[in-house]
Amino acid sequence: MFRVMFHEPRIPPNTGNAIRMVAGTGCELHLVEPLGFDLSEPKLRRAGLDYHDLASVTVHAGLQEAWDALQPERVYAFTAHGEVSYASIEYQPGDVLLFGPEPTGLSDEVLADPHITAQVRIPMLPGRRSLNLSNAAAVVTYEAWRQHGFAGAV
């Protein structure tokens, strides 16, 4: 399935929502430290409800450690500055869907990483800065899963 990666997330409920989303889709969630919270934080647990045991969540000490562990072939970095629409990509299982921290998004240094296949955007109306992190991850994850016939779903 697909691998959702949050680089240095800051807001516990967003990560909790993502835990619930990956549990429901069969995707993996990869969190790159430093995190802006402790994984046992009540707001994170509440947002994830009782899905924590059903989700695949891995914490990596840094971005290089994540690359070493995942050995990704394709990494899509989601940014408001991307030139490719998320809907125009033909996603493949194993793809890494990389999202940046709230409220800054991915840094220029991360966006320049040689592992990045493309910088991708989710269309929005003019004058809007960004979507909520967990909402953006859900939009993209469900599009990728839809392209594969919602494999495994009932």
Q: Domains of the chain: which residue ranges?
A: 3-147
Report the alpha-carbon distance of residue 95 to residue 97 in Å, rounded: 6
Q: What is the pTM of this model?
A: 0.94
Report the alpha-carbon distance of residue 43 to residue 16 in Å, rounded: 8
The CATH code for residues 3-147 is 3.40.1280.10
> Half-sphere exposure (CA, 13 Å, Cβ side) for 70?
31
130, 37 Cβ separation under 8 angstroms: no
Q: What is the pLDDT along the chain (154 residues), one digit of tens a residue?
A: 999 999 999 998 899 899 999 999 999 999 999 999 888 767 666 655 567 788 999 999 999 999 999 999 999 999 999 999 999 999 999 999 999 999 899 999 999 999 999 999 999 999 988 899 999 999 999 999 999 999 999 9
